[in-house]
Amino acid sequence: MALVGKGLTFDSGGLNIKASENMRTMKGDKAGACTLLGVMRTLPKLNLQIEVHALIGAVENMPSGSSYKPDDIIRAYNGKTIEIDNTDAEGRVTMADILSFASGFGARTILEWLSKLQGP
């Protein structure tokens, strides 16, 4: 079994930068990965007779000289190409790669955590 979690440590939106009021909760974009870490800490206590792999796609989305730009075409882990329409798609690109990786090592079941904490 593979457990997959999205772990964006911070998401500014990249070059398509988010409005400042939308950035305040972006540190919560790593909630899927944090949940997965809690699950992995708990699993040994349950003494389950199953092999479980934890895969966390950890990334930060900030502007820099090496940032994706709109209209860039990138190659995903599985070899498929993705055209970047908006640089705030890094979570989907990261999950596409980590899910491709998980399916490639023979996991019969893949559970994914995409959750994002929402502000008040």
- pTM of the prediction? 0.79
- Judged against a pLDDT cut of 60, whether residue 71 lies above it is answered with yes
- What integer pLDDT is reported at residue 40 of this predicted model? 95
6 is catalytic: no
Catalytic option among 18, 24, 27, 45: 18
18 is catalytic: yes
Domains of the chain and any CATH numbers: 2-113 (3.40.630.10)
Nearest-10 Cα torsion for 35, 41, 42, 47: 140
Q: Give yes or no for a contact between 106 and 120, defined as CB atoms under 8 angstroms apart.
A: no
- Judged against a pLDDT cut of 60, whether residue 58 lies above it is answered with yes
Mean pLDDT of the chain, nearest integer: 86
Catalytic option among 80, 92, 108, 116: 92
